[in-house]
Structure 1
Amino acid sequence: MIKAVIGLGNPGKQYEKTRHNIGFMVADAVASLLKCNRKYKEKCFSHIYECPDHDLIIAKPQTYMNNSGIAVKNIMEDYNLSPEEILVIYDDLDLPLGTIRLRKKGSSGGHRGMKSIIENIKTENFPRLKIGIGRPERKEQVVDYVLSPFSKEQQILVEKVIQSAAQCILNVLKYGIDKSMNFCNQKIV
């Protein structure tokens, strides 16, 4: 049973609408749909929204993406959670924009935030929801690409993706990971 939904991103106004912050965007959408406490707590190096009606917390680590594992480890220790009780949401360069993938476990796939989590909690065995953001044309553009906002043309699709990902998470909370795979693994158009 999932007890913590953790969206990855970078803190600060300058990163708010960037591709790398899609995890934060989805976390905010889930908090809104579940009507979690509007005020977050600063705890475990994160913004924590408590959802007492759902026995759930929603967290947005404030350690910057590459150090996400520090916050996730603290959340797990403070709330006494096992790896199977967290669901991490993050951006994925290898999936096209409009694609979401729910997985029970897996490697970092080169994602530095996921690498940090795996190193800090010492396992790859935790659920995750990957949100496709596509790749830039050239490999050397990756850093600028993930730290830039979506284009105006992409905004309508991005909003659909955020809402679909949030609905996926609600499905996981209600039915579990296995029963939610077909519902969640989709391409949004």
Structure 2
Amino acid sequence: MGERTRIRAVIGLGNPGPHYAFTRHNLGFMVLDRLASRHHLSFRQQSRWQAMWAKLPLEGGEVHLLKPLTYMNLSGEAVRRLSQRYSLRPEEILVVYDDMDLPPGRLKLALSGSAGGHRGMASVLEALGTPAVPRLRLGIGRPPEGMDPALYVLTPFAPDELPEVDRWLDRAVMVLECVLREGMLKAMNKFHQRQQ
């Protein structure tokens, strides 16, 4: 992916419904909500795509923001429909999601890779037919010993964790805005060095 390839869509992964709203698995939705709020945007339902959708106007062209309303393991269907409707290439789509393999609060940008066991990302990669899909992974850390990982990711953040999560969201939005302004490679260099 060259520096000239512009990100034209940002996908946040999560599960729909208030029951899942503040769970670890919904960090992708939470980041997109924070990004939309900063730019005074509202999501609207797109029944054809089974998703919530907004458009972020930027210099150089608008960016689609999408939150699939299917459950996590079917997220790719909405992404595929959006990409067909707007002729988006996989390298123009950035996916935001939680990752147990990263320490809590750690952010990692990548141009491609496997799903790493994340069912939502696996669905997106399958729908787009390539592992070369940019992504922003947000670390949630490993579950406590003896806790089922599937239960851990669906557990809401505790009240005392929320101020820290708030900082994670602000940092993730800052990274996304840098990606949209300057491209993936510059953003990767800037933020990965800062986290060292």
Distance 1:70 1:40 in 2: 18
Select the residue among 97, 103, 115 that pairs with 1:96: 103
Distance 1:78 1:123 in 2: 18
Of the structure 1 ranges 84-93 and 39-48, higher mean CA displacement relative to structure 2 is found in 39-48
Letter in 1 for 2:155: S
Q: Are residue 21 (structure 1) and residue 26 (structure 2) matched?
A: yes
After TM superposition, give the deviation of residue 120 of structure 1 in Å: 1.3
After TM superposition, give the deviation of residue 139 of structure 1 in Å: 6.5
After TM superposition, give the deviation of residue 141 of structure 1 in Å: 1.1
> What is the aligned partner in structure 1 of residue 148 from structure 2?
141
Select the residue among 26, 33, 46 that pairs with 2:51: 46
Name the SS for the 2:94 alignment partner: strand
Letter in 1 for 2:8: K
Q: Tell me how many residue pairs correspond in the alignment.
A: 187
After the TM superposition, which residues 154-173 of structure 1 pair with which residues of structure 2 at under 5 Å, given as runs? 154-173=161-180
Q: TM-score, normalised by structure 2?
A: 0.90
> What is the aligned partner in structure 2 of residue 33 from structure 1?
38
Q: Is the 8 A contact 1:84 1:127 kept in 2?
A: yes
After the TM superposition, which residues 77-92 of structure 1 pair with which residues of structure 2 at under 5 Å, given as runs? 77-92=84-99
Name the SS for the 1:131 alignment partner: strand
Q: Is the 8 A contact 1:96 1:134 kept in 2?
A: yes
Q: Is the 8 A contact 1:168 1:183 kept in 2?
A: no
Distance 2:106 2:14 in 1: 18
Name the SS for the 1:5 alignment partner: strand
Of the structure 1 ranges 44-53 and 12-21, higher mean CA displacement relative to structure 2 is found in 44-53
Name the SS for the 2:136 alignment partner: strand
Distance 1:121 1:46 in 2: 17
Q: TM-score, normalised by structure 1?
A: 0.93
> What is the aligned partner in structure 2 of residue 183 from structure 1?
190
Distance 1:26 1:39 in 2: 13
Of the structure 1 ranges 170-179 and 140-149, higher mean CA displacement relative to structure 2 is found in 140-149
After TM superposition, give the deviation of residue 187 of structure 1 in Å: 4.8
In the alignment, structure 2 segments of 5+ residues that lack a partner are: 1-5
> What is the aligned partner in structure 2 of residue 63 from structure 1?
70
Distance 1:145 1:52 in 2: 36
Letter in 1 for 2:44: Y
After TM superposition, give the deviation of residue 140 of structure 1 in Å: 5.4
After the TM superposition, which residues 123-138 of structure 1 pair with which residues of structure 2 at under 5 Å, given as runs? 123-138=130-145
Q: Deviations over 1:45-72 (max 9, x none)?
A: 1100122345111110011111111111
After TM superposition, give the deviation of residue 106 of structure 1 in Å: 0.6
Q: Is the 8 A contact 1:47 1:59 kept in 2?
A: yes
Of the structure 1 ranges 159-168 and 67-76, higher mean CA displacement relative to structure 2 is found in 67-76
Identity, % of aligned pairs?
A: 43
Letter in 1 for 2:133: F
